[in-house]
Amino acid sequence: MNAIPMPALAPADAVMPRSRLVRAYLMEARAECLRYLRAPGFLLPTLLFPSVFYLMFGIFLGRANGADASRFLLASYATFGVMAPGLFGFGVSLALERDTGLLTLKRAMPMPPGAYLIGKMVMALLVAAVVALILLAMAGFLAHAGLTFEQGASLFGIEVLGVLPFCALGLFIGTLIKGQGAPGLVNLIYLPMAFLSGLWFPLNLLPGPIQAIAPIWPAYHLDQLALSAVGLGQGAHAVHVLVLAAYTGIFLALAARRLRRNG
């Protein structure tokens, strides 16, 4: 008896009408944002840490050093703040979702294969935007940092888009480790990278070896762009943008490769 050939299943985005395809992406992004809004353990530290640090060091202690100190620390703590949504929102959540089987379930659902990634990226971009707006408001109303509208808008755009390399890095981390170990590993990358990139102390105050290796970190390049936005940069903008784009592409490719092999 001859076997009846089964038709090949087409990807969800190949058979959905365009209106349903767009709605699928929007609903997945909405679900991701709501899930993190209902997770104060992620949202509150992400919003409060850079704000409290800037309040203490950029406003209370920075006033004695003039507006340059407030602007310098605004750029640094904004960069520090937008690292977290990418690293934790992707790295920790992906590791947990792989362990619990949620990622397998999402793959089996009739939704576009890119909706999962786009949903998490929308969440990270929105959280980064909130972090940047809070710090800009503090810089304008409390620190009196003297930013022009163009400087503030430029810093906002740089920091929001600057979350993408950390999304890619977080995605790669989430493919490497189990869920329970993910927060510890992310913190071991997040906090040393912030220090070694000169986000907490100006690089010229740190030892020579640390200054020499600072350019290997994506946080360093994002911070240099942020400093330029507030009038304290040293040029080479194209180099920093290219390095951040390269980080994003490389880690996305590595993460996709591991997910195809290991799930």
What is the per-residue pLDDT across 58-96, written as a single tens digit (0 to 9) for each?
Answer: 888 876 677 688 999 999 999 999 999 999 988 998 888
Region for 101 from its dihedrals, namely left if φ exceeds 0, alpha if ψ lies in -120 to 50, beta otherwise: left
Collapsing DSSP to helix, strand or coil, 42 comes out as helix
Q: Is residue 7 part of a domain?
A: no
* Residue 3 maps to a domain: no
pTM (2 d.p.): 0.88
The predicted model gives 133-146 an average pLDDT of 93
Residues 6+ apart with CB under 8 A from 23: none
The answer to the question of residue 5 being in a domain is no
What is the C-alpha separation between 194 and 223, in angstroms, rounded? 10
Q: What's the structural domain count of the chain? A: 1
> Is residue 13 predicted with pLDDT exceeding 80?
no
Look up the domain containing 200 and give its range. Answer: 16-262
Contact 170, 88 (CB under 8 A): yes
Note the pLDDT of residue 7. Answer: 41
Does residue 244 lie in a domain region? yes
Residue 79 maps to a domain: yes
Domain for residue 8, yes or no? no
Q: State residue 15's pLDDT score.
A: 61
Residues recorded for the chain: 263
11 located within any domain: no
Q: Which pLDDT tens digit goes with each residue over 224-250?
A: 999 999 999 777 799 999 999 999 999
243 within domain boundaries:
yes
